[in-house]
Amino acid sequence: MLNVKDKVVYQIYPRSFMDSNGDGFGDLKGVTMKLDYLQNLGVDYLWLTPFFISPQVDNGYDVADYRRIDPKFGTMEDFEELAEEAKKRGIGLMLDMVFNHTSTEHEWFQKALAGDEGYMDYYIFKESPKDAPPTNWQSKFGGNAWKYVPALKKWYLHLFDEKQADLNWENPKVREELKEILRFWKAKGVSGFRFDVVNLISKADFENDSMGDGRSHYTDGPHVHEYLKELVGDAGIEDMITVGEMSSTSLDNCIRYSGADEHELSMVFHFQHLKVDYKNGDKWSLMAPDLGELGRFFVNWQEGMQDHNAWDALFWDNHDQPRALSRFGNEGEYWEKSAKMLAGLIHLMRGTPYIYQGDEIGMTNTHFHDIHRYRDVESKNYFEILKNNGLSEEEAIAVVDERSRDNGRTPMQWSAAANAGFSTGEPWIEVVDNFDRINAASQVEDENSIFSFYKKLISLRKSQKIISEGRISFETDLPVGAIGYTREYEGKKLCVFGNMTSEEIAVNDNGVLPAGAVLSQNDSARPDVRDAGFALRPYELVAVWG
Ligand code: GLC
């Protein structure tokens, strides 16, 4: 398997990254225009979220043709140019494969709708009276997960929007089709793949869920490991970089998805750390982050994955998450410090770090406070659901402001120019109104900027094997709000501490800190950190080498 331990991936949400033609919508040419910026940052791969033909009901996660590029994003020539120019700069491309479902506009689904039985078997159609869905499962975007088709007198399953129909992976023809798509893009020279919600592909049964929303009937389902091994093996992608997005998964399954000898994926995204501010596990119920829980998550998963030679993708943000800076950091006085602390905390851990566009300059949530300014189908649905559940408009919008996926989808803030330099036209979603202060242009040359700190973290991973290869063990007796761990490699040590609060936290290191260099947000020496105990300042990150 490919060694991904010293690599760093940068995630691009193309529609919001850079618009080359002034239509307000980011495109592939826009990505090509910014390759020098990305090379300067030092990243190895770009994961591009889907740019295939799509009605864009779920911003491209509803694919209607996996081999063609949506004209909104450009042409195949634009893609080839991007791949070639990226390669010249030592950067590989990872494409996003949405294989749990297709758009209902996909040719396969259209044929199924026309009554072609072969294609109906590509999807999950079930018989049930028209007023009684086959099961009580809920769609992840709200409402029942089944849609009735009167002409067929059958229901089809959609775990996401009703325009996203779940594929039937039990049908070997479906699995063959998907392998062909991977071979197609491999032949185009891409370096790897991200697999969308790939742990949902094997449905266990189609029974009612008496306890929950149905997820226990299809999450990490009975054949998922078998299907992944087959897909990766037959498509010949084992030596490419691959990452699976795992929804509500378990540590045991992640060990298998990414275990060194399992021949499934290079690494996994899992999300427990991003649920520590869900009240009673409900994303749409607000609560301050439970930092004790966050600390326990890192101990269990980082050490648990290590014990079984499995590998993590390290990340705080992506296109489905509110900005970590707004969530776990501080947008005010400690903006810069908390952005750097959050970055350092995960970049020095065991795994492959992912940077989501804008993290490297400290972008924040939207604070739109008006449902008409949001674009995401999930946010719009839940705004209605919350009101139906009795929340006032004011209360419902406050929840959406915190939890909307659009928080991570606003245009990249390139400069203080109009539309943050993203587009000369009207952006498809508004720019956050702090772009005059928070933008790339003001940071690239400044060696104390958040951008430069990311650059340093990336180059450290490449020069220090203790970061890419070292063992990790966590300090479990720190006060809540502080996270600390030690990396060890060939007799050397690296100790890392982060303060996730705006209060000082006293740390007793028991005199074990090594005597080497110290890295903190501004590289200011912290001579006191080697005393038997020291105080972590608000949002401070301290890393000490031995
Ligand atoms: C993943 C994607 C998300 C999408 C969903 C359905 O979670 O990251 O954006 O809505 O899958 O494809």
Q: Which residues of 51-66 are buried (b: 16+ CB within 10 A; e: fewer)?
A: bbbbebbbbbbbbbbb
Query: What is the band of 509 on the pLDDT scale with cuts at 50, 70, 90?
Result: low
Q: Residue 527 has what pLDDT?
A: 55
Q: Could you tell me the distance, in angstroms and rounded to a whole number, from the CA of residue 186 to the centre of ligand 1?
A: 22
In a domain, 511, yes or no: yes
Choose one of 423, 458, 493: the last residue of a domain: 458
- Whether the CB of 276 sits within 6 Å of ligand 1: no
In a domain, 3, yes or no: no
249-265 pLDDT tens trace? 999 999 999 999 999 99
Tokens representing residue 65 in the block: 């043709």
Query: What is the band of 516 on the pLDDT scale with cuts at 50, 70, 90?
Result: low
Q: Residue 234 has what pLDDT?
A: 98
* β-strand partners of 474: 485
- Whether the CB of 277 sits within 6 Å of ligand 1: no
- Whether the CB of 271 sits within 6 Å of ligand 1: no
Q: Residue 199 has what pLDDT?
A: 98
Q: List Cβ neighbours of 21 (8 Å cut-off, separation of 6 or more).
A: 27, 29
Average pLDDT score over residue span 326-351 = 98
Tokens representing residue 463 in the block: 């020069």
Q: Could you tell me the distance, in angstroms and rounded to a whole number, from the CA of residue 196 to the centre of ligand 1?
A: 6
- Whether the CB of 61 sits within 6 Å of ligand 1: yes
In a domain, 337, yes or no: yes
138 HSE (CA, 13 A, CB side) = 11
Quick one: 242 exposed, middle or buried, by C-beta within 10 A (0-12, 13-18, 19+)? buried
In a domain, 148, yes or no: yes
Q: Residue 525 has what pLDDT?
A: 58
Question: Per-residue pLDDT for 523 more than 60?
Answer: no
Q: Does the annotation count 395 as an active-site position?
A: no
Are both 188 and 306 inside the same structural domain? Answer: yes
In a domain, 1, yes or no: no
Which of 257, 162, 241, 151 is closest to 201 using CA atoms? Answer: 257
Choose one of 416, 435, 458: the last residue of a domain: 458
Are both 154 and 288 inside the same structural domain? Answer: no
- E-state strands within 196-257: 241-245
Mean pLDDT of the chain: 96
Question: Per-residue pLDDT for 185 more than 60?
Answer: yes
Q: Residue 544 has what pLDDT?
A: 87
The CATH code of the domain that includes 490 is 2.60.40.1180
For residue 151, give its domain range.
107-166
Cα-to-chain-centroid distance, residue 297: 17
Q: Residue 534 has what pLDDT?
A: 78
Q: Residue 513 has what pLDDT?
A: 66
Choose one of 147, 166, 185: the last residue of a domain: 166
Distance CA 411, CA 522 (A): 28
The stretches of 372-520 forming alpha helices (DSSP H) are 377-388, 393-403, 450-463, 465-468
Average pLDDT score over residue span 160-168 = 98
Question: Per-residue pLDDT for 528 more than 70?
Answer: no
Atom of ligand 1 nearest to the CA of 98: 12
The CATH code of the domain that includes 123 is 3.90.400.10
Rounded to 5 degrees, φ, ψ at 471 are -75, 155
Distance CA 297, CA 120 (A): 42
Are both 78 and 153 inside the same structural domain? Answer: no
- Whether the CB of 13 sits within 6 Å of ligand 1: no
The CATH code of the domain that includes 358 is 3.20.20.80
Cα separations in angstroms, 503 against 33, 139, 426, 479, 539: 42, 41, 42, 12, 8
170-180 pLDDT tens trace? 999 999 999 99
Are both 385 and 420 inside the same structural domain? Answer: yes
Q: List Cβ neighbours of 89 (8 Å cut-off, separation of 6 or more).
A: 35, 36, 38, 39
Average pLDDT score over residue span 105-127 = 98
In a domain, 2, yes or no: no
Q: Residue 437 has what pLDDT?
A: 98
In a domain, 463, yes or no: no
Quick one: 325 exposed, middle or buried, by C-beta within 10 A (0-12, 13-18, 19+)? buried
Q: List Cβ neighbours of 173 (8 Å cut-off, separation of 6 or more).
A: 118, 121, 122
Question: Per-residue pLDDT for 529 more than 80?
Answer: no
Q: Does the annotation count 245 as an active-site position?
A: yes
Atom of ligand 1 nearest to the CA of 160: 6
Distance CA 103, CA 120 (A): 14
Question: Per-residue pLDDT for 521 more than 80?
Answer: no
Question: Per-residue pLDDT for 225 more than 60?
Answer: yes
CB count in 10 Å sphere of residue 187: 8
- Whether the CB of 109 sits within 6 Å of ligand 1: no
> Do the Cβ atoms of 199 and 224 come closer than 8 Å?
yes
Are both 118 and 260 inside the same structural domain? Answer: no
Tokens representing residue 293 in the block: 């829980």
Are both 88 and 200 inside the same structural domain? Answer: yes
Q: Residue 519 has what pLDDT?
A: 77
Rounded to 5 degrees, φ, ψ at 332 are -100, -120
The amino acid occupying position 462 is: K
268-321 pLDDT tens trace? 999 999 999 999 999 999 999 999 999 999 999 999 999 999 999 999 999 999
Which of 70, 77, 97 is closest to 14 using CA atoms? Answer: 70
Q: Could you tell me the distance, in angstroms and rounded to a whole number, from the CA of residue 435 to the centre of ligand 1?
A: 27
Are both 384 and 527 inside the same structural domain? Answer: no
Number of domains in the chain: 3
Which of 166, 57, 55, 164 is closest to 120 using CA atoms? Answer: 166
Q: Residue 514 has what pLDDT?
A: 64
Are both 350 and 374 inside the same structural domain? Answer: yes
- Whether the CB of 196 sits within 6 Å of ligand 1: yes
> Do the Cβ atoms of 126 and 165 come closer than 8 Å?
no
376-404 pLDDT tens trace? 999 999 999 999 999 999 999 999 999 99
Residue 189's region, left for phi above 0, alpha for psi from -120 to 50, else beta, is left
Shortest-distance Cα residue to atom 6 of ligand 1: 61
**From 19, 27, 96, 245, active-site residue:** 245
Q: Could you tell me the distance, in angstroms and rounded to a whole number, from the CA of residue 61 to the centre of ligand 1?
A: 6
> Do the Cβ atoms of 369 and 482 come closer than 8 Å?
no
Residue 446's region, left for phi above 0, alpha for psi from -120 to 50, else beta, is beta
397-437 pLDDT tens trace? 999 999 999 999 999 999 999 999 999 999 999 999 999 99
Are both 446 and 496 inside the same structural domain? Answer: no
Per DSSP, the three-state class of 293 is helix
117-159 pLDDT tens trace? 999 999 999 999 999 999 999 999 999 999 999 999 999 999 9
Which of 47, 54, 56, 61, when mutated, tests ligand 1's pocket best, judged by the most ligand atoms within 8 Å of its CB? 61
Q: Containing H/E element for 139?
A: none
Q: Residue 512 has what pLDDT?
A: 60
Provide the residue count of the chain. 546
User: Following DSSP, what letter does each residue of 282-319 receive, concatenated?
Assistant: EEEEE----HHHHHHHHHHHHHHHHHTT--BEE-S--T
Are both 238 and 114 inside the same structural domain? Answer: no
Q: Residue 158 has what pLDDT?
A: 98
Are both 18 and 118 inside the same structural domain? Answer: no
Are both 146 and 28 inside the same structural domain? Answer: no
In a domain, 306, yes or no: yes
Cα separations in angstroms, 318 against 79, 174, 211, 359: 22, 29, 30, 9
Q: Which residue has the tokens 């973290």?
A: 457
Identify the residue with better confidence: 509 or 200. Answer: 200
Q: Residues 159, 164, 165, 169: is their CA dihedral positive or negative?
A: negative
